[in-house]
Structure formats: C-alpha cells, structure tokens
Amino acid sequence: MSNHTFPRRSVLVGLSAVAMTAFVPSRALAFSAGQAEALIQKTVADINTIINSGKSEAAMYGDFERVLTKYADVPSIARSALGPVARSASSSDLGAFTKAFQTYLSRKYGSRFRQFIGGRIEVKSTQKANSIYDVRCVSILRGEPPFEISFIVHEASGRFIDLQIEGISLLKSERAEMGAMLDKAGGSVSKLTAALK
C-alpha cells in the first residue's frame, strides 16, 4: 500500500461523507443508472466549487456539511456507522448522534480536501446490483497516479451511502472507528455524541 493511500481515502471520504449524505426527492418513479451518475457528477462539481473557492478550511466546513446532507443518505450512514446499538437507541439519541456525526465527518474530511485542489473525478461506468448502483470513477490528483473509486448509490433514497477507494469501504472504516469510540463511551450513545462534538 502506498504512502498516499490514507490521504486518498481521507479526501474521498469527504465526497462520501460529504457527503457522507444525500440525493433528493421522493421516488415515485424508478431510479436509473443515469440519475445515479448525475448525482455523483453534481456531488463532485459542488465539492470542486468549495475547494477552489479560496475560503479558509474553517470557512469550508459548513459548505462541506451542506453538500453532504444534500447528496448522501446521512441518516442511513450514521445508523450503519453506529452499528447494532442504533436499533435500541432512542429517537432523540439517534437524531443527536446523526447530526453530530455529519458535522464530525465534514470537519474530519473537509480539513483534508485541499489535497484535491486541481484534481478531478471522472465517472467511467455504472453497474446495478439489487437495490444499489455502483458508480465507478477514476480520481486524478496532482502529482498522484490515477486511482479507482466507487460511489455506492441506494436506489430507494436516490443518495449515496458509501464510498469505496481502491476497494476499501470508507463506511466500514468509520463503523470501526465509531465502534472503538462507543466502547470508550461505555456503550452510551449520548456520550459518544458528546465526544464527536
């Protein structure tokens, strides 16, 4: 694994995380591969606008969070990252965790997005498997060899739910991190939420 693997993952989680989060209206009609690709194109365009805006990193955090909540299915990502305890958590605890988690993701990965300035992501193909679309892309950063990424878009929500970089799921990485933090919090969702803040 190259020395650049972690920065690549970090940069692109942000897409997911900014992601980590959303695609739009109610689905009266079937969601298509073309719509999945269009979603990812819009996600990338919005992120590129932010990172090339000239704003400070701190000023970009709120912008990244808005992109995340617009294009990613944040509630689903948060529940998955929280793991089995999400099923027994109260709605208020789960809501507070979801909000803290999306802010945490935006700050964590937004702080690394400057590495992406001057780079681009190109959509190459889309494959459907059951209820998800795997939107396969190539990411090109300055001074780096191109690498493959996949945005996993859920058909029902019309938003992305994961980002895989060179075959590694960023959602699974966050699930492991949240699990470790939850252990430190003694299994308390409210304490984990406070730690994320």
pLDDT of residue 9: 53
Domain 5-196 has CATH 3.90.1150.10: no
For residue 147, give both structure tokens: 């690498």
Strands (E), 35-171: 120-129, 132-140, 147-154, 159-165, 168-169
Per DSSP, 72 falls in state B
167/11 Cα distance (integer angstroms): 15
Contact, 103 vs 131, CB < 8 A?
no
Residues facing 136 on adjacent strands: 125, 150
pLDDT tens string, the chain, 197 residues long: the values are 444 444 555 555 555 444 444 333 444 456 899 999 999 999 988 988 888 888 887 788 899 999 999 999 999 999 999 999 999 999 999 999 999 999 998 888 777 776 777 777 888 999 999 999 999 998 888 888 888 989 999 999 999 999 888 888 989 999 999 999 999 999 999 999 999 98
Instruction: Flag whether the pTM goes above 0.85.
Output: no
pLDDT of residue 1: 45
> Containing H/E element for 77?
helix 74-82
> % helix / strand / coil in the chain, to the nearest 5?
55, 20, 25
156/30 Cα distance (integer angstroms): 9
Using CA atoms, how far residue 8 sits from 60, 92, 110, in Å, is 19, 34, 13
Longest Cα–Cα distance of the chain, Å, equals 47
